[in-house]
Amino acid sequence: MGFLYPYPESIIERCASGMKKRNLVILVMVLGLVFSPHAAEAKKRIHHTAHHPRHHHGAGVDASAAYSDIVIDAESGRIIHDTDADSLRHPASLTKMMTLYITFQALEAGKLSLTQYLPVSANASYQSPSKLGLRAGSHVKVQDLIMGIVTESANDAAMTLGEGLGGSSDAFAQMMTRQARALGMTHTVFQNPSGLPDPDQVTTAHDMAILGAALINHYPQFYPYFSRDAFTYAGIYHHNHNHLMDRYDGMDGIKTGYIRASGFNLVASVKRGNTRLIGVMFGGRSAVARDNRMAQLLDASFAEAKNAPRVSSEDGEGDSADNPRDNQDYVTLPAKVAMIFPPRDSDDDQPVPPPQPQVKPSPVAARLFAPSVQPAPAQAASNGNDWGIQIGAYSDASIGQQALAGLTSSMPDMLNGADPKVEKVSAGGVTMYRARLMALDKRTAQSVCSYLVQRGKSCLTVEP
């Protein structure tokens, strides 16, 4: 079942840190058996560019795990260390760095405010974990969405920001890719605001170092969000997934990531004295192995940086033998240009509300929003599709319609033939609207309900 593909980052990392090694091995073997077809497919879709690494990753790192890394001086862009830094990788939750970059851009431009509330769509509420558990139809403060992303790496929060700023997930992904090109991230393509698996969503260690530098240098007023250790929302405590920040001296951010196709990823920023380094790593075998490897990379890079001459990004780049840049490779640090949200013309302008989020309609969703709900096809029962599911009962028919649209859009392969129904029922003077998907076969109905219930959603199977 393709919709079970992503492992929730928080679950994997907590298992990695809390289980005995023997039990963790068993868990990984079981998950590998379940998800290996998808991993194999994703692997086919990644094309690695030819690159001779400046440094080999050495012992302790699984060479078969699509590994790559880079460490740069954040002031000059000098590459201190890299391994396959231009090879394509899946960004996983590192994607949220760009979601936040555009959010910070909108905040600075006055198109958004930290105290503004954004609506949560059904599509956002149905995102896979990690998540805050945002409810469809609710409204969440922008600052809470930011905090949910930097600590819990919440996919529902990322989708809410993406839909709020772009109008839809697809439109926002196009904005993200355009912004990446403007920053010089030439090998990066974004397909969603969260980093949940998509074979066409790719980046490189080199490009992620550029994005890390842009967040630090372009938005110093917002960058401290990445150093927040924890966040409480709706009474639930969320600790930052970036556990290396707890134990590595000088580290103040920025983002972890994990999906099966990428391994455990990390972008780290560390400042010691006048030196700030940005490290990027893809392909860790576990959260602990990833953190330990990053610590090794940063230790070695600080030692090298200490003995190297300091060169500012503003220094000349001539061919003189006295120029220390001549024999070094550099990442071109991006200027703060090509803003997606241009600055306001005057301070008197009021913030412009972002467009309302829209669920990209599937064929089922298109029928759902028709003036009237059509009955199930007469031939459905003869094909064995006489089962259904009920995902809720609502006080407003439009909320039920939105919930059904979000579910069918999130599982188009499984639910494309379903028939959406919003049925009015009254009892005891109270009127409710039942949201149901009918014309399903028994196996599909039970599988979808099981999936939703496991994720804390309401669902009942409707038998013939």
CA-angle at 145, arms to 281 and 357, nearest 5°: 110
> Residue holding tokens 């302790």?
60
CA-angle at 28, arms to 25 and 32, nearest 5°: 140
β-strand partners of 73: 277
Q: Are 273 and 73 in contact (CB under 8 A)?
A: no
Alpha carbon distance 15, 21 (integer Å): 10
Closest Cα partner for 241 from 155, 173, 133? 155
CB-hemisphere CA count at 13 Å for 79?
24
Q: Are 315 and 339 in contact (CB under 8 A)?
A: no
Is 153 tagged catalytic? yes
Write down the catalytic residue from 96, 111, 255, 421.
96
Is 76 tagged catalytic? no
β-strand partners of 237: 232
β-strand partners of 265: 257
Q: Are 134 and 157 in contact (CB under 8 A)?
A: yes
DSSP character at residue 46: -
Residues contacting 11, CB < 8 A, separation 6+: 129, 130
Write down the catalytic residue from 10, 76, 87, 93.
93
Q: Give the CA radius of gyration of the chain.
A: 24
Write down the catalytic residue from 68, 130, 153, 447.
153
Pairing of strands 79-83, 68-73: antiparallel
Is 93 tagged catalytic? yes
Closest Cα partner for 368 from 426, 413, 418, 411? 418
Alpha carbon distance 284, 89 (integer Å): 12
Active site residues: 93, 96, 153
